[in-house]
Amino acid sequence: RWGKEIYGDARVQFHQDLLARLGPSALCATVLLHGGKPLSALYELRLRDTVYSIQSGFGDGVTRTVSIGYLHLAYGVEAAAAGAARVVDLLGGGGKHRDYKRDLGQPGGLIVSCSAIRAPLLRVLLRVQEGARRLLASQRSGRREEHREA
């Protein structure tokens, strides 16, 4: 989240390795500034004609009249279209305050997640957590989700 360190060394290394493999042209990272201060950050990857929105963050309490996250995402979509992208993939998951992907995406998309857990107790806990999450998500968005275990 904004203002908090969330990446450990392994996660940073993963992104560095990924970018080294994809090449610098795949990176679309932007920071929205106001008065020299960062308001929002957007980290995207471009592969062929698709832009994948990997991570975004924004400062809280900047303004109550404009959603800084929506504004920055709109700039990102505009830049993707100007760069001849045909698809902007917002990936799965909800936003901090609302499910903005539902607002902007196509209805009825299928989200599939896969987990491989050997410990029986953890497997049961995952099933309970996933069941509750799917129930809440389906009530909020009407989007169909599927979970498969490996």
Mean pLDDT for each 10-residue chunk of the chain (150 residues)? 60 84 88 85 88 79 71 85 84 67 66 74 86 82 53
Does the pTM surpass 0.75? The reply is: no
**Considering just the CA atoms, what is the radius of gyration of the chain in Å?**
17
The string of pLDDT tens digits covering residues 82-111 is 888 888 887 766 666 666 666 676 666 666
Pairing of strands 111-115, 145-149: parallel
